[in-house]
Each structure stands twice: as C-alpha cells, then as structure tokens.
Amino acid sequence: MTNTINLFTGKLIKLTAPRNEDAAIMAAWEEDSVYLRNLDTDIAYPRSVAQLEEENKPSSGSKYFRLRTIEDDSLIGFVVIHSIEWNNRSGLLAIGIGEQNNQNKGYGSEALQLILRYAFNELNLNRVGLDVIGYNERAIRAYEKAGFVVEGRVRSAVYRDGEYSDRMNMGILRSEWEKINN
C-alpha cells in the first residue's frame, strides 16, 4: 500500500470539518423549502443558526463533512455517513448541496465519489445505504452514477401537495464499488 492520496480532496471540491461561520450559511439554505423537501421526508421547517451549530458533533456512529469548492474554499454543501453499525460494517449516507445555483454542476457526484472512497477505504465499511424520495430524480441519477442500486421501495411513504410518492432504498456494496473504481 502507498499512502499518497489525499482522501479529502477531489478536482472540484473537498471534504472538510465544520467551521464556525458555516451555520449561518446553512440556515439560509434551509429557507428554501424545495431544498428541504428533497433532503428528507420530515416536515419542512428551517432550522436556526443555533440548532445548526449544535448538531453534527463528532461521534463514533457518524462521520460528517462539509463540502467546499477547491476554487475559492466556499461552503456549498454537506455529506455524512451516519448510523454506522461497526459490527455489520454498514452505514447510511446523506448529502445536500445548498443553493440551487450550485446544483447540477457535478459537485454532488464528486462528493459521492469522495465519501464512498472514504467509507470503503478508511472506515472499511462493506455497505453504504440511503433513502431517497421517488420524485428526486436528480439525486437518483447522481446515486446511480456513483454505483448505487435500488434495493427497495416503500410505497406511498411521502405525502406532499396532495400526492403520494414512494421512498426508495438504495445501496452499494464494497465489491460493487471496487469493480467500478479499479
């Protein structure tokens, strides 16, 4: 093994720890209900700066990163492996690129590549799973590009604007990731 690769750095973005100034920027992202309604199935409600400062303290069950551009170090999102079960070598992934003008630029896809390399080569996990709402086609496309496959579908799990949507379960195994990346 040669230890020559910086696991935290890609071509466009890098994975960093949270910084003090981040919470105010992230609170502004949460004023966009489109973002919140793509992020998860909870009732959309923006968190305060104080709430955002409190969360995501380091713990053994999760590895939480902020996403910053290489170009100017600006905060554009977050990515996390959470609910880690060390005995089962498995964890769950969540990701968010905050502003609409930073979406669709390849940042999310690169973040997925970085976090999967970290999950499999540093955390030594065997499986990474996630949930995504069926209407979030951009996220599903980004996950499929990264190698995730649909493993299940919880029917009519989300009810918004008078319509039901499915919640999809996706996952990737280490062996599948190795095939794509070697």
Ligand X SMILES: CC(C)(COP(=O)(O)OP(=O)(O)OC[C@H]1O[C@@H](n2cnc3c(N)ncnc32)[C@H](O)[C@@H]1OP(=O)(O)O)[C@@H](O)C(=O)NCCC(=O)NCCS
* Catalytic (active site) residue 64: no
Looking up tokens 């554009």, which residue turns up?
Answer: 76
Give me Rg for the CA atoms of the chain: 16
Contact stretch for ligand X (CB under 6 A) within 3-11, 33-41, 46-54, 149-157? 33-41
Contact pattern from residue 96 through residue 115 relative to ligand X, giving x for each residue in contact according to CB under 6 A and a dash for the rest? xx-----xxxxxxx------
What's the token pair of residue 110? 């690169």
**51-90: which residues touch ligand X (CB under 6 A)?**
none
SS3 percent helix, strand, coil of the chain, rounded to 5, is 30, 35, 35
Pairwise CA distance, residues 23 & 79, whole Å: 15
Q: Is 38 in the site for ligand X (CB under 6 A)?
A: yes
Contact stretch for ligand X (CB under 6 A) within 2-10, 20-28, 141-149, 161-169? 141-149
Q: Write down the catalytic residue from 35, 107, 118, 143.
A: 143
What's the token pair of residue 65? 């990163």
Nearest distance in Å: CB 6, ligand X: 20
Residues 107, 108, 111, CA angle at the centre, nearest 5°?
Answer: 85
Residue 167 bridge partners (DSSP): 133, 154
How many of the chain's residues bind ligand X (CB under 6 A)?
Answer: 21
- Decide: 27 and 45 in contact? Cβ < 8 Å: no
Which of 138, 167, 169, 176 touches ligand X (CB under 6 A)? 138
Contact stretch for ligand X (CB under 6 A) within 6-14, 54-62, 134-142, 150-158? 134-142
Across the beta sheet with 127-133, the strand order is 13-16, 63-69, 75-85, 90-97, 127-133, 163-173, 149-160
Contact stretch for ligand X (CB under 6 A) within 15-23, 51-59, 119-127, 137-145? 137-145
Residue of minimal Cβ distance to ligand X: 108
Which of 13, 95, 125, 146 touches ligand X (CB under 6 A)? 95
The residues carrying an active-site annotation are 143
Contacts with ligand X by CB under 6 A lie at 35, 38-39, 95-97, 103-109, 132, 136-139, 141-142, 145
